[in-house]
Structures are given as structure tokens and as C-alpha cells.
Structure 1
Amino acid sequence: MTRRRPTRSADDLLTALGRLTAQALERAELQKARVDLAVALQRELLPAVLPDVPGLRSAARYAPARHGLDIGGDWYDGFWLPDGAVGFSIGDVQGHDVEAAAFMGQIRIGLRAVAAGVDDPGEVLSRANDLLLSMSCGLFATCSFLRFDPATGELADARAGHVPAVWATADGDWGILEPAGGVPLGILPGEAYPVTTRRMSDTEVLVLFTDGVVEGPSFSIEAGIEQVARLARDGVGGDPGELASQVIKVADLTGHTDDAAVLVLSRGHGVT
């Protein structure tokens, strides 16, 4: 004998619909709260301002990961060194959780501490690498560390597995700054990081970024870097903050779900 399912009244259906709607709204509010928490946490771990350096203008932007508490470990930093030079770093920690964000904060602090006593950017990365390995946390990070001398315009750069930067000048020249580097921080003990030294042109812009800006399912990292290069060529001599804002939007074109960071260093005259 087949038992008939009891007929539900319109009031019952409306009540059930109301309950489901309330649950959906509650989940949406919870998800928004999680996103807000992730963004707030990341911003608290990033510098509020960059150094005001004679002859050099700088700007940075950060875009959070797109999925709730997928807190990334991307960072940028800029700080004065004891000898009057300025240190800049940008990097990306493996993973997307609170542990990765905390590890990012430790790397930033570690780089600052080491750079205060070491002039050579390659040695800074080497010592930071050994420091991170001693912590035995199992995470690693890509990183570029730069040292800029305001008196000479000299820029020294060392790279630990990080994506290359893009540069452009007012005369239309441009290129990809891809110095020889070592493996990411936190993988191999005793790793050496070669240093590339060059003088920044008086009308040059240098754009550094994490892979979340230029790589995603929509197109390749090469296509992403070409997009950044085009923006850099168009942005020479302009407001570095505007250029950084334009570059961070490239991440939207890639279809990425990772977080993303951009750091722009600009020489020459223009809007501050």
C-alpha cells in the first residue's frame, strides 16, 4: 500500500520559504563578515605608509583573495635603513590561511631586522632564509628585496623565486627586470642570492608585483606581465598611486582567486 505524502498548505510553504531565506541571509552576512575580517587582518599587517624619499616616489596597492577566509600572505614594505638608503620588499607566502598571514608578518619583521645591519640585498635574503628555516614552520615565500640609495639613484636588487619586475622610461624604453636569483625563502639552508645593481634613470618607473596580479585561469603569466608593461609605459612620469591602482586591476582580468600586491617606484617629476 502506497502512503500518500501529506499535502502542505500555502502557509506551510511560505513559512518554509521564509526560514530558508533567513538562513541564506544569515550565511551571506557571515560570509561578508569573514571577508571583512580577512581584509582587516591583512591591512593591519601591511605598512600604512611608505617612506618619503627624496628623488623617488612610491605607492602600493593590495587586493584580498576572493574567497572568505582565504587570507593570503602577499606583502609589500618600505623602510629607511641606518645609512640613509631605503629598503623595499615584496613577496608572497605559500598558503591561504591565518598561518600564512602570520608568517608574512614574521618575514617582514625579519627582513627589516636583518637589513638594518647588512648592506648587501643578497645577504639580507640569505640570512632571512636561514632565520625562517630555523623557525621550522614548514612554509616558504617568494620575495624581492631592493636597496635604493637616494644620493646616487643606485638600485640593488636580489630575488628569491619571485616574479620579475617591469621597468619603463620616458623615452619609450622598457623591459623586464629579471635578475638571477635563488630559490624561495624557507626551502634550502645556506642559499646564496645574487645581486643586480643598476642606476635608475631620472625618468624611470619600476613596477613590482606578486603572481596574483599577473597569473590566473584566464591567461598566462606572460600575458599578465605584458599587460603590466603596457601600463608602466603609459604611466611613466605620472602619479605612482594611479599606476599602482591600474596595475592591481590586471588581477581582475586573470580570473585569479589569490590575493595580490603591487609596489611602484618612480623617478622624475610628476604628480605626488
Structure 2
Amino acid sequence: MDARGGRTAARRPSAEAVLEPPVSRRRPPSHPAGAHELLGTLGELTARALEHAERQRARVELAMALQRDLLPAALPSLPGLRTAARYAPARHGLDIGGDWYDGFRLPDGTLGLTIGDVQGHDVEAAVFMGQVRIGLRALATAASDPGEVLARTNELLLSLPDGLFATCCFLRFDPATHELSVARAGHVPAIWATADGRSGIEDTENADEVGLPLGIEPGEVYPVTRRRLSGTEAVVLVTDGVVEGPAFSLDTGLEHVLRRVRAGVGAEPGELAGRVLEVADLTGHQDDAAVLVLCHDGP
């Protein structure tokens, strides 16, 4: 109603109001072209990452298969000497491959035993490990002295195109004299204990008793230490994955192994090897770990 009491004329909607669609029917704003490109790039990167992960998984599985198949299923023994070995892969799959152990009878009736660790990990390390192990076996049949075996193996590795190196310990046991001869190429020292309470770790301070790792320097000389085993005794060799890790220094790890070897004199070699390998779990090792055990029962 207006001020004069008459009826007010109804307002007519404007043309703009008639033509404007309801809010609910409006089109959503379109994405800029850059957003589509970003989504496409993310999709490609995701696909590549999945492909890379699949390839890496295949490499890890191949390395595990090579490592498992290249290690011997059992070690030989002689009257008066029993042997055993254990191996544990790295906690991280990418670090698998490289540690080995081996044992074989030599033409002169003695027993040859080796343990070692090659540079690197993955498939290449497992393959190189196989080459070193086979080379040691072949050269040990032509030379009885452990130092000479390592010297010849060193020259062999230097002639290969890989450019990798390896630490190694070679042992020779003579059942006629019960003499144990040992030569080391940059490897972790041996740990031993006897039933009458004697025990020790090979001298780690004397540089004259250990040569450089195999495959580094031509003409390297590898000294030999000799000891006659006369009674009940255990000799244990390990790779650094057993005694060294984020939680332990090398010396601390060796002391842990020494305590287990002292307590395990007279036990079955496989049982003692399992006890020693448990030290690797204490160190929080991220590397392969291998243990080689010799149990001497006396003449």
C-alpha cells in the first residue's frame, strides 16, 4: 500500500534476473592446464618408482639365490676334527651377498678351510664371492702353504676386470701332525679356547701377522702362523658382520664371541656356530654374517 492507500504495483524482475540460472546448476570452475600436467607427471613418477622397486626386488632375490647356492651345504671333517658353518643374510635386503665359507680335502690328505668377505653387496658381490671361492679351491691344490695360496689368489684377483677386493682367512689342518696353519688377508682374527681353560684372540696389534686384503696390492706377502692342536679345543672364525655393528665395536664383538667359545668347548660344532652367530643380533648388524667352527677332539 502506498501513502494514499492505493495498492502498490508489483515489481517485475529484471531481464538479468530472469536469464541467470539457479546457483545449484552453475558449472564447476575448470582446472588450469598446469594441474593436469602435474597429475600426469605424478602418475609417471609413481609408475617408474613401482617399476624400480620391482627390479630391485628381483635383484635382491637373485642375490639371495646366488648366495645360497654358492655356499656349500656341508663341510668335510677328518678324524679328530669336526667342522661346521653358519650364515645369516643382512637385515636389509639390499646389503645381501659377499660373505662365504668353504672346506675341502687337499691332495696331500690335509684339510683346507676358508672364510671371507668381498667388497660390496647385491648380485655383483655374490658373483665375485663365487669367483674368489673357486679360485682359492683351485690354487690350494697347487700350493700347500696357506700364505702362498693367498698370494696366488691375490694376483688372480688383480688380473680380473672387476676391481673388487676381499678379506679372507685360509686354514690348513694336517691330520698327521695335528698342526693348524693360518694365513690372513685383512680378515677378522680367529678366536680359540681349550678344555683346560686357555683361550685367546689372534694378535690384532701385530701388523706382521696379517696381509692386505686380496686384490689391492701386487706382490703382497701373507705370513703364516702355525700351532699344534693337542687336546680338546675350539677354533672359531667369523666375518665382520658377526662382531661389528651399530651397537658394538669390533673389540667388544670379539669379546662376546670369546665368551661363547669358552663356554662351548666340547659342544657340537654346529651348536657352537649357532651360539656365535647370535652375537650378530646383539650388534644390530646390517651386513652379512658367517661363522666357521673347528672342533678338535685330540689325537
User: Counterpart in 2 of 1:181?
Assistant: 210
User: Counterpart in 2 of 1:226?
Assistant: 255
Q: Secondary structure at the residue paired with 2:159?
A: helix
Is 1:132 paired with 2:161? no
Is 1:82 paired with 2:107? yes
User: How does the TM-score come out when normalised to structure 2?
Assistant: 0.78
- For residue 28 of structure 1, report the CA deviation from its aligned partner: 10
Question: In the alignment, residue 218 of structure 1 is paired with which amino acid?
Answer: A
1:39 corresponds, among 64, 72, 92, to 64
2:186 corresponds, among 147, 156, 161, to 161
How many correspondences in the alignment? 248
Structure 1 residues 258 and 94, CA, compared in 2 at 3 Å: closer, same or farther? same
Contact 1:143 1:185 in 2 (8 A): yes
Q: How does 1:50-61 map onto structure 2 within 5 Å?
A: 50-61=75-86
Question: In the alignment, residue 190 of structure 2 is paired with which amino acid?
Answer: A
Contact 2:190 2:202 in 1 (8 A): yes
Structure 1: distance between partners of 2:57 and 2:194: 42
Q: Secondary structure at the residue paired with 1:69?
A: helix
User: How does the TM-score come out when normalised to structure 1?
Assistant: 0.85
Q: How does 1:79-118 map onto structure 2 within 5 Å?
A: 79-118=104-143
User: Counterpart in 1 of 2:97?
Assistant: 72
Is 1:199 paired with 2:228? yes
Contact 1:35 1:67 in 2 (8 A): no
Q: Secondary structure at the residue paired with 1:49?
A: coil
Contact 2:150 2:183 in 1 (8 A): yes
Structure 2: distance between partners of 1:243 and 1:256: 19
Structure 1 residues 99 and 234, CA, compared in 2 at 3 Å: closer, same or farther? same
Contact 2:193 2:265 in 1 (8 A): yes
| Percent of residue pairs identical | 71
User: Counterpart in 2 of 1:62?
Assistant: 87
Structure 1: distance between partners of 2:174 and 2:164: 32
Structure 1: distance between partners of 2:55 and 2:282: 27
Q: Which moved more, 1:161-170 or 1:174-183?
A: 174-183
Is 1:239 paired with 2:264? no
Structure 1 residues 32 and 202, CA, compared in 2 at 3 Å: closer, same or farther? farther
1:119-147 deviations in Å (ceiling 9; x for gaps): 11000000000000001311000000010
- For residue 65 of structure 1, report the CA deviation from its aligned partner: 1.1
Structure 1: distance between partners of 2:176 and 2:60: 43
Structure 2: distance between partners of 1:32 and 1:190: 40
Question: In the alignment, residue 150 of structure 2 is paired with which amino acid?
Answer: L
Structure 2: distance between partners of 1:151 and 1:205: 19
Contact 1:31 1:68 in 2 (8 A): no
Structure 1 residues 31 and 94, CA, compared in 2 at 3 Å: closer, same or farther? closer
Structure 1 residues 35 and 201, CA, compared in 2 at 3 Å: closer, same or farther? farther
- For residue 37 of structure 1, report the CA deviation from its aligned partner: 4.5
- For residue 64 of structure 1, report the CA deviation from its aligned partner: 0.4
Structure 1 residues 96 and 236, CA, compared in 2 at 3 Å: closer, same or farther? same
User: Counterpart in 1 of 2:289?
Assistant: 260
Structure 1 residues 234 and 36, CA, compared in 2 at 3 Å: closer, same or farther? farther
Structure 2: distance between partners of 1:259 and 1:105: 15
Structure 1: distance between partners of 2:215 and 2:236: 25
Q: Secondary structure at the residue paired with 2:257?
A: helix
CA RMSD of aligned residues (A): 2.3
Question: In the alignment, residue 171 of structure 2 is paired with which amino acid?
Answer: L
Q: Which moved more, 1:29-38 or 1:193-202?
A: 29-38
Q: Secondary structure at the residue paired with 2:94?
A: coil
Contact 1:34 1:68 in 2 (8 A): no
- For residue 97 of structure 1, report the CA deviation from its aligned partner: 1.6
Structure 2: distance between partners of 1:161 and 1:238: 29
Structure 2: distance between partners of 1:170 and 1:188: 40
